[in-house]
Structure formats: structure tokens, C-alpha cells
Amino acid sequence: MGLEKINMPQLGESVTEGTISTWLVQPGDTVNKYDPIAEVMTDKVNAEVPSSFTGTIKELVAQEGDTIEVGDLMCYVEVEGAGSVSDDEPSPAQEDPVAEEKPNKEEKPVKKPAKQEKGSKKRYSPAVITLAQEHEIDLNQVEGSGRGGRITRKDIEKLIESGNIPTAGSAPAKEEPKQEQQAPAQPAPAAASGSAVPNVQAGEGDIEIPVTGVRKAIASNMVKSKTEIPHAWMMVEVDVTNLVELRNAKKKQFKDQEGFSLTYFAFFVKAVAQALKEYPQLNSSWAGDKIIQRKAINLNIAVAKEDQLFVPVIRNADEKSIKGIAKDITDLAGKARQGKLTSKDMEGGTFTVNNTGSFGSVQSMGVINHPQAAILQVESIVKKPVYQNGMFGARDMVNLCLSLDHRVLDGLVAGNFLARVKEILEKMSEENTSVY
């Protein structure tokens, strides 16, 4: 047994330091070479740091939140054979006597060391795919012994024989914190990338940005959502002239009294929460052999931060006033921008409301936030000439776009729901709506 150091790698051309956001391993964990050991934030990217060795984590030198210069020590790994860390160097806290034993002399040379070209790791033979499907093996968790790290049929057969089958649900515990941190990514209209690796080559001068952390989570959630959920789409146009008057009349006073803004979005969220109470079918999830209708109305809202999108949750939105909702929106948006959202802020959403209007969008097809049943996009409020009561008038109009899981919902109920949201919004006015 020997010791090796893992140092902060160069994570980008101009990156000089990185902040450890999460350790994905703990002392005592066994890691394979290239396994992710930590998530690191730099001013450019969120990245996973891969292990440089196969071995056991001995000591985490850097703590979560620490900012480490590129090349500086992150942790120690105990490896087979002699390590490169010599005795006079600062060594880990407790000396394990076993660790000092000299390398295992007659470990039989294994057949062929898997050459780490990595190239064909993801190319599976028919036999491997068949066996993996039959035994529900998650191939991402399997180490291949074939050329270029290819997973061979024999690798799988040995795995099955050992009974230690890595299924999709049994991801190693160390990955869990990562999932929490990356949180449900927002189904942004623009998101497209998938998990299948397309053969795209970078040309000269192109910049290659590693897909990690939140971006990766967004990509896989989008693919999951778009491939699993049969999306249907509808849109209604809502006259919010009265609502605009109401908000304009109150916003100054509100800001002065409460210390935060009274946004249009709060009114829309309120209207959606109210309509969901009447149409609980939209507040549900597809669960294979059943549909689960949620009691709580917890609304995800989208908050953007540079290249990241988060979907924190306004809990029990149906129990809150417009002010309460506006406060939640302000709090959650602030937390997101400061990177302080916790996994608790993200959990338990039952329906998503997306404020696409904030970018000036007037129409968009949202991708449903898996496993929810629908997503509502609130577009820009636009002044339009509208023919009404025998004459044209300038009215404030807004489009509400709804994407729905057609397994759970049909046009009728979704249409009724949208009509109800429209009705609520059109009735909002200074005379009959209180923000408190």
C-alpha cells in the first residue's frame, strides 16, 4: 500500500483556483481511477474532479467551501503498490499499520491491464446490452476489461455471478449529494442536449466546455422528460388590462412598505395555485400503473443564474396571499443568484410555472419538469389593439402556454384549467383583489 496525492487540476485555460462545493467521497471510500471525487466550482465552470488513482480515500485535506489553487493538495488516496508520497511529507492523521506493509508481492499479473483509451467504453455489444437489460444492470457503473475499457460479455457474466449487480437505482451512495446539489434542472425552452453522445467534432478555434454539474443534470432531465413524456401543447390569450392597472397602482406603495417588489409573476402564480385547487388533475404525476394526484400545491418557479437554471419551490402556494408568493419569489431568486439554494428549496414541486415573459418571449413550448404532469409558461404582457364591445381598444394581453403529459391529461381538462386561470386573471382588478 502506498499513498498518492490528488491535487486541484487545471479546470480551464485561465482558471487558477477552484472552490470545493461538495466532496463526493469520504475517507474510507474505494474509488476507481477517473471516478468523480469532488465537485468544484470555478469562475468558469462547475466541474467534477476525477480521481487520478484507484484506491481508498485516506484523508480529505481540503474542506467543502475551501478555495484551492490549481496544483494544491486536495486529498490523499491509498493505492496498491508503492505510492509517490514519501515519508517526510506531511502524511495523513492516523497511521494505519496495515497501510505501511510493503506491496503485495505475488498478486498474479492480471490477464491484460485494461488500456485506458476509454474510447469504446460506451459502445456495447449486442450480448452486453441483452444481459444488461435482462438483469437490469446500469452499465455506467461497470468497469470494462476489454480493449479501450470496453465492457465485455465476460465482465457482465462475472458481475451476474458475483450477485453484486449495479442497478440504475443503486448508484453508489457517494453520488447522492451531487444529485441533491444539482437539483431538478429547469425545463428551459432552449434546452436540448441529450445523453446519447453525438459525433460532433470541435474545429479549430472552437471552445470545448465540459458538461458537468448543473448543465449535465439539465441535459439528462430534459432527455428524460422529452423521451418519456408525450407532450401536448396549448395556449390561451388573457386580457390582463385590469391586473396591470392594479399592479401599477400598488407597486410603489408595496415596495415602500414591504421592501420588495410586487411582480406580475406573483399574480400569475396565485391564479395558477387557485385553479390547480379546482383542477387537481394537473397537479399530478404519471406513475406507470397509476396516476398520483398531489394534495399539496407546491409550485416550481424558474430562476436563472448565468448558465444555470434552478427550479426552487413555492410551498403550499394555495395557502399564500399574493404578497406571500411575491416574498417567496424574491427570497428564492435571491438565494439562487447567491448560490445558496439548498436541496430543501428544490424538493417536492408538483407543478411548474415558468416566467418566460421576463425575456420578452410571447410564445414557448415548455418541457415538463419530470415527473410532473404539466408546465405553464407565462409570456410577456403586450399592449394590443383588441376588438371589444363594438370598438377597438388598447388592451394588455398575455399568452399562457401549457405543455401537458398526454398520458395523464387530455385536452378537455387542460383546456378547462387554462380557461379557469384566464378567468381568474381577467377578474383581478383594483376593486376586488387584495394583495394581502
Residues that bind other proteins (CB under 8 A): 111-112, 125-130, 146-147, 150, 152-154
Alpha helices by DSSP H, listed for 229-263, are 241-258
CB 180 within 8 A of CB 343: yes
Of 380, 382, 356, the residue nearest 367 (C-alpha): 356
Of 349, 345, 323, 320, the residue nearest 334 (C-alpha): 345
Give the integer Cα–Cα distance in Å for 308 and 292: 30
Of 246, 203, 229, 177, the residue nearest 370 (C-alpha): 229
DSSP one-letter string for 390-416: TEEEEEEEEEEEEEEETTT--HHHHHH
Nearest-5° angle of CA 316, CA 351, CA 193? Answer: 140
Burial 124-133 (b: 16+ CB within 10 A, else e): beeebeebbe
Length of the chain: 436
CB 278 within 8 A of CB 313: no
109 Cβ contact list (under 8 Å, min separation 6): none
Q: What is the Cα Rg of the chain in Å?
A: 27
Distances (CA, A) of 253 to 49, 261, 267, 425, 434: 50, 10, 17, 22, 13
Residues carrying an active site annotation: 406, 410
> CB 123 → other proteins: shortest distance, Å?
11
